[in-house]
Structure 1
Amino acid sequence: MAADRRLDVLRAIVSDYVETREPVGSRTLVERHQLGVSPATIRNDMAALEEAGYIAQPHTSAGRIPTDAGYRVFVDHLASLRPLQPPERRAIESFLSASVDLDDAVSRTVRLLAQLTHQVAVVQYPSLRRSALRHLELVPLGADRMLVVMITDSGRVEQRTLTVPSAGAAHDATATTALDEGVVADLRARLNAAAAGRRMPQLAVALAAVGDEVEPRLAPLVEALAAVVGETLLEEVEDRIVMAGTANLARSGFDFAHTISPVLEALEEQVVLMRLLAEMAADADALRQEHGEVAVRIGAENRHTGLAETSVVAAPYGGEGSGDALAFLGVLGPTRMDYPGTMAAVRAVARYLSRIVTP
């Protein structure tokens, strides 16, 4: 019973501090919250919470503020996330559904998240390594060159130019024959039938199998095409992120004990954020929460020193679950954050973006 009441006291302290930015005292809790106990009992509960490391006194004769551990308990004990209001949901759906392509969808998403949460928004581009091939287009560029266009299930388009390989001396006109319109059309159809909807490594196996079905003189071309597609979908350099709302962080500067400079420096190093999102994606414990797979890292849980005074709320998008997700999106801000509202917004936007990028 006492533990439940102390959790209620902690919830009240977190809510008041997030709203007012002022340390919370026992008198404030009595006046603003119907906790059903005497002021003396509340003071005892606050003393117990402080001893447990969930709240702290910033200076003498002040009220209490939540610690990172206190925020963690608060987040972990959220019974459910309040749904967004119907006007908010309609606005999200309308804004994102107007996207014309993947780049536009990502741009709209990051701006929308920053506006909804008043934090720094981060959207990771769908990784080609986690994407499935939707369509492969072959465009002859002459006697010995070909444009290979790969369209993934997330709407991403990649282009590569391929030099058509020779089949050897026995077929001295192979390059010209291989690029004959009819041959290219047949090859295109075979490759798409075999590879459409597949991800690596199944994709590599499917493409290689086509080489066994075509005429021997076309086998080197199929092998080259399979190599180009495979190399493209495995490229590390395709992992990148887009940010918006850095000005929101600057306006929250007084929420940091020292300075926001380390945070801004970390944001400039996009590799830091990409590594953080990758860690959150791999963190099974963080994704076991009953909040639609919304993961939260608070304060020192972020393993980069520049982010020690920030919290990150992230969610996967583009798949049925974190293991199948194409990428992550989320927000970053000071630990004094509206966690329920931020988590609900991140979850909702991730779901709407998933509808756009998942066929």
Structure 2
Amino acid sequence: MDERRAKVLRAVVESFIDNAQPVGSQAVLEAAHLDVSPATIRNDLAALEASGFLMQPHTSAGRVPTEAGYRHFVDGLGPGTLEGSEIRQVRAFFAHAQGQIEELLSDTSRLLSDLTEYAAMVVAPSIDRDTIRSAQLVDLGGGRLLLVLVMSSGAVERAYVDVYGHPNLVAAASGAAVGSASGVLSDALVGKSHSVVHAARATGDPATDALVGAALAALTSDETAPRELYVGGTSNITGQFEAVSSLRSVLSVLEEQLLVVSLLRSLVDRGLSVAIGSESGVAPLAECSVVVAPYQVDGETVGSVGLLGPTRMDYSKALAAVHTVSRRLSASLGESEPSHAAVSTASPLRD
């Protein structure tokens, strides 16, 4: 594509993103600031349509971008940043972020949606990659015990140990066996993956071994499995799809946790930061684009943050927001303070 037609295509994409209306030759001429005739612009629009970058929804109407047109536009974007007020908003959020990692990830999804007005998604650290840094059995009193795990991602997981209905456990929970069981659990769990069914050495003390067994049973219960996906701002996309059926399809996808988690992980693994329309491989998202970036703990990618919106989304803003928030989230979970320099908005993620 020559330079002039690239400018024409860019003008069509930017105008359609702003107005959601087919773009005519006069609008392109004014937006692209080209010193050519309207007839030349019309010829360029026809050529871009013939090449598959634009389409004409109705006879005599202007043009709108195709997936190929959006892809060419996105691949040509330069570095982008958030506005100063938005950067300060992100800084303030992470400077005051408190609570457990689950709360942080949920709040981060809402922050990202507030910045962009698209639906935001945060994939939690995979339990398959997470390891246990510390394990402690805590006596809450009244025969209540709590197994507390600190994960390598910074997550804190809890499992209540049910001792009622088991006379030997009730007696053990009120004695020194709790401390002994806590030590055995620490030896058995630290450095191991949460997803593995753990065994622990037998001590020969019935009370200690009974508590250890009950704690391991509580740990492997489905009720203690952490959430994998946090979605924020679904209400922000309700007005961005003309067809109610399209909106319903998008919202149904966002309710499918496994599908969304698999999609974001697949995009990160493929080195993509933008999937446009059918590039996602998810049919109900044919009219959507997904923007994603990974976040890291101790130099290892453990999760991802993403945005979902219509294909006519503001890509430069979405990419800048996703990359800024992902880097800040990485810093909050343990990495060094990130730079606030401009971030790259090209579709491949480079090391």
- Shared fold by TM > 0.5? yes
SS in 1 for 2:301: coil
Maintained 8 Å contact 2:267/2:292: no
The equivalent residue for 1:26 is 25
Separation of aligned partners in 2, 1:235 and 1:282: 27
Separation of aligned partners in 1, 2:283 and 2:296: 30
Q: CA offset at residue 179 of structure 1?
A: 7.5
Instruction: Give the aligned residue type for 1:306.
Output: P
Q: Where is the helix percentage greater, Structure 1 or Structure 2?
A: 1
Is it true that 1:244 corresponds to 2:232 in the alignment?
Answer: yes
Separation of aligned partners in 2, 1:27 and 1:270: 39
Separation of aligned partners in 2, 1:75 and 1:343: 10
**RMSD after superposition:** 3.7
Is it true that 1:83 corresponds to 2:90 in the alignment?
Answer: no
**Identity over aligned pairs, percent:** 34
SS in 2 for 1:147: strand
The equivalent residue for 1:170 is none
Moved over 6 A (4+): 141-145, 173-179
In 2 relative to 1, CA 174–31 (structure 1 residues): closer, same or farther, beyond 3 Å?
Answer: closer
Q: How many equivalent pairs are there?
A: 330
In 2 relative to 1, CA 306–100 (structure 1 residues): closer, same or farther, beyond 3 Å?
Answer: same
In 2 relative to 1, CA 21–137 (structure 1 residues): closer, same or farther, beyond 3 Å?
Answer: same
Separation of aligned partners in 1, 2:5 and 2:128: 47
Maintained 8 Å contact 1:96/1:108: no
Separation of aligned partners in 1, 2:193 and 2:170: 29
Separation of aligned partners in 1, 2:20 and 2:238: 16
Q: TM-score, normalised by structure 1?
A: 0.75
Q: CA offset at residue 345 of structure 1?
A: 0.5
In 2 relative to 1, CA 39–320 (structure 1 residues): closer, same or farther, beyond 3 Å?
Answer: farther
In 2 relative to 1, CA 285–215 (structure 1 residues): closer, same or farther, beyond 3 Å?
Answer: closer
After superposition, the C-alpha distances for 1:10-43 in whole angstroms (9 at most, x for unaligned) are 2221112112222222222222223465544433
Is it true that 1:281 corresponds to 2:255 in the alignment?
Answer: no
In 2 relative to 1, CA 319–54 (structure 1 residues): closer, same or farther, beyond 3 Å?
Answer: farther
Instruction: Give the aligned residue type for 1:25.
Output: G
The equivalent residue for 1:99 is 97
Give the alignment of 1:202-217 within 5 angstroms: 211=201, 215-217=203-205
Q: TM-score, normalised by structure 2?
A: 0.76
Instruction: Give the aligned residue type for 1:231.
Output: T
The equivalent residue for 1:169 is none
Is it true that 1:314 corresponds to 2:292 in the alignment?
Answer: yes
The equivalent residue for 1:148 is 147
Give the alignment of 1:165-314 within 5 angstroms: 180-181=175-176, 184-185=178-179, 188-189=182-183, 191-192=185-186, 195-196=189-190, 198-199=192-193, 211=201, 215-217=203-205, 220=209, 224=213, 227-228=216-217, 231=220, 238-253=226-241, 256=242, 259-268=243-252, 270-283=254-267, 286-287=270-271, 289=272, 295-314=273-292
Q: CA offset at residue 90 of structure 1?
A: 2.1
Is it true that 1:57 corresponds to 2:56 in the alignment?
Answer: yes
Q: Which stretches in structure 2 are left out of the alignment for 5+ residues?
A: 336-351
Larger mean CA deviation between 57-66 and 135-144 belongs to 135-144
Separation of aligned partners in 2, 1:20 and 1:140: 61
Separation of aligned partners in 1, 2:223 and 2:266: 20
Maintained 8 Å contact 1:127/1:238: no
Separation of aligned partners in 1, 2:268 and 2:108: 25
Maintained 8 Å contact 2:7/2:32: no
After superposition, the C-alpha distances for 1:166-207 in whole angstroms (9 at most, x for unaligned) are 9xxxxxx999679853x6445535654775465457x77xx7
Instruction: Give the aligned residue type for 2:220.
Output: E
Maintained 8 Å contact 1:317/1:328: yes
SS in 1 for 2:128: helix
Q: CA offset at residue 64 of structure 1?
A: 0.9
Separation of aligned partners in 1, 2:137 and 2:265: 35
